[in-house]
Amino acid sequence: MMAHASGKTGPFFKMGFMGTLSGLIISPVRWFSEAFPRTTSKEAGGMLLLSSLFYAAAGALPLSGTGALVRAAILMVNALGMTVLCAAIAWLVGAIGNGSRIRFSSIWRVFAIGTIPTLLIAWVPSSFFFTEPWKWVLVALGMIYGLGMGKGRTVWVLMITASLTAVLFLAILRLMVASPTPPAF
């Protein structure tokens, strides 16, 4: 494995996107145990951005013209925004629940990396039923093997996070349906 020409030596530059992706698919426990501690937030964000771009482009392919651009932009914001939102909720739940000393950047890295492989499939209709549980399993493995959280605490934090995220979106959906002028999308 070669280091990046810039002299950087993190896993993103040693293994590249494909190496990280294959590591997460073949042996996520090993990847989170060995490569995750050396992965920076910037590297995780770069890989998430690359997956999000693919997800947005692939999801917009059936459309043409401005519709494709609007859909791609929405998908891109959704992919990045949901990752940040879930990481923030998980961090808050962990901090409130038992005064967690885990930094937000660590939780962010776990959510970003756990989302990477799922976005490459998520654009396929009805894949949600496969990709969403897969993402949460990868995030759980990241919290356990990458951050060293206990299994019980990880399950508790992720159950609360998923529940709060669902409640938040149901509330937003209710507000949108109840508004006098429905959104135009």
> C-alpha dihedral over 128, 133, 138, 143, to 10 degrees?
130
Q: How confident is the model at residue 14 (pLDDT cuts 50, 70, 90)?
A: low
Q: What torsion do the CA atoms of 98, 36, 21, 107 make, to the nearest 10 degrees?
A: 30
DSSP letter for 10, please: S
What digits encode the pLDDT tens for the residues 63-91? 777 888 888 999 999 999 999 999 999 99
Q: What are phi and psi of 29, to 5 degrees?
A: -60, -45
Q: How far is CA 55 from the centre of its chain?
A: 12
pLDDT tens digit sequence for 104-131: 999 999 999 999 999 999 888 889 899 9
- 99 pLDDT exceeds 90? no
Position 89 in a domain: yes
Residue 6 lies inside a defined structural domain of this protein: no
Residue 58 forms part of a structural domain: yes
How far apart CA 54 and CA 76 sit, in angstroms, is: 9
Range of the domain at 155: 11-178
Determine, yes or no, domain membership for 183. no
| 185 inside domain | no
Is residue 137 assigned to a domain? Answer: yes
Structurally, the chain folds into a number of domains equal to: 1
Q: Is residue 184 part of a domain?
A: no
The CA–CA distances, whole Å, from 13 to 17, 39, 48, 111, 114 equal 8, 10, 14, 20, 18
Q: Global pTM?
A: 0.84
pLDDT tens-digit readout, 28-54? 999 999 999 988 999 999 999 999 999
Domain contains 100:
yes
